[in-house]
Amino acid sequence: MAHVTGVRDRTSRGWRNAPASPFVARIGWGLARSASIVLLLAGWEILARSGTFTPFVLPALTSVLERILADAMSGDLFLGASATLYRALTGFLIAAVGGISLGMAMTRSIGIRWFFDPIISVGFPMPKIAFLPVVILWLGLYDVSKISMVAFEAIFPVVTATIVGIKGVDREIIWSARNMGASNRELLCQIMLPAAFPQIMTGLQVALPISLIVAIVTEMLMGGNGLGGGMMSASRFADSPGVFAGIVEIAAIGYCLIKGMSMLRRRMLLWHQEALEPSTV
């Protein structure tokens, strides 16, 4: 009997001392990382209910969530989010294709690099939204102008990341491939682009939230449907819950886009060294 009790005690101690499963650890880490968001939302609700601010200045979180639910049930949320995502993602795809192509061309041609390098150097730090009046004059107030502004703003980090990634490829690898008879096309497609792909993905990760931000700003300034336009309409009618509902919706969509891009990066870089390292994302 004492032997059985001792075995049971050792077994229970072993269970208590056993490390948590990776799934449980991941859940715990996720809860710990979201604690600040939960505290922020709880503070928002408590502060709004305390009477420190009027409902017009700071509506309660529950009122905002009720407004989001009402918009979802009526279909307004879907229509606004789909219009904003269409403009943001279309401009992002144009910027991705154009930025990668231009970055590759600038690394392969001295003439192209000589022509575009000053433009990239001056345009990168410049707030491109300053060109919005010109774009409105040329293209009007419709989707073409909004998508053009998104692509124009998002292309610069993609071009820069592509150039940095390709120029960072180990010269010895390039020399070895040339000595083995690789053509310029094979060298670019099979050696340089795969080696530069992590850096290119970083540029795309930077460009994606920029695309969403510019899409929202152009909707606010140019009007029309979309989340930005909906927020401005709610502001004109002194609809405070509608304005804050737009903020929450934009934050949720932005988080989903960034999270999805991070998952896509890990998926596409399974062959790379960074996929073997522990990640906290």
Residue 134 CA from chain centroid, whole number: 27
Which tokens in the block code for residue 13? 């101690």
Residue 19 scores a pLDDT above 80: no
Question: According to the model, what pLDDT value does residue 142 have?
Answer: 85
> What is the third-level CATH fold of 57-273?
MetI-like fold (1.10.3720)
Q: Which of 39-48, 190-199, 241-250, 258-267 has the lowest mean pLDDT?
A: 190-199
**What is the per-residue pLDDT across 63-110, written as a single tens digit (0 to 9) for each?**
999 999 999 999 889 999 999 999 999 999 999 999 999 998 998 888
123-128 contacts at long range (C-beta below 8 A, 24 or more positions apart): 123/156, 124/156, 124/157, 124/160, 128/152, 128/153, 128/156, 128/214
Residue 215 near residue 87 (C-beta atoms within 8 A) = yes
Residue 55 near residue 48 (C-beta atoms within 8 A) = yes
Half-sphere exposure of 172 (CA within 13 A, CB side): 0
**What is the per-residue pLDDT across 156-204, written as a single tens digit (0 to 9) for each?**
999 999 999 888 877 777 777 777 777 777 777 777 888 888 899 999 9
The model carries a pTM of 0.82
Residues 6+ apart with CB under 8 A from 50: none
Distance between CA atoms of residues 168 and 176, nearest Å: 16
b/e per residue, 219-249, with b = 16+ CB within 10 A? bbbbebbbbbbbbbebeeeebbbbbbbbeeb
Residue 7 scores a pLDDT above 50: no
Residue 130 scores a pLDDT above 60: yes
Residue 229 near residue 223 (C-beta atoms within 8 A) = yes
Which tokens in the block code for residue 256? 């989903």
Question: According to the model, what pLDDT value does residue 277 have?
Answer: 56
Distance between CA atoms of residues 91 and 45, nearest Å: 36
181: region left, alpha or beta (phi > 0 left; psi from -120 to 50 alpha): left
Mean pLDDT of 40-45: 86
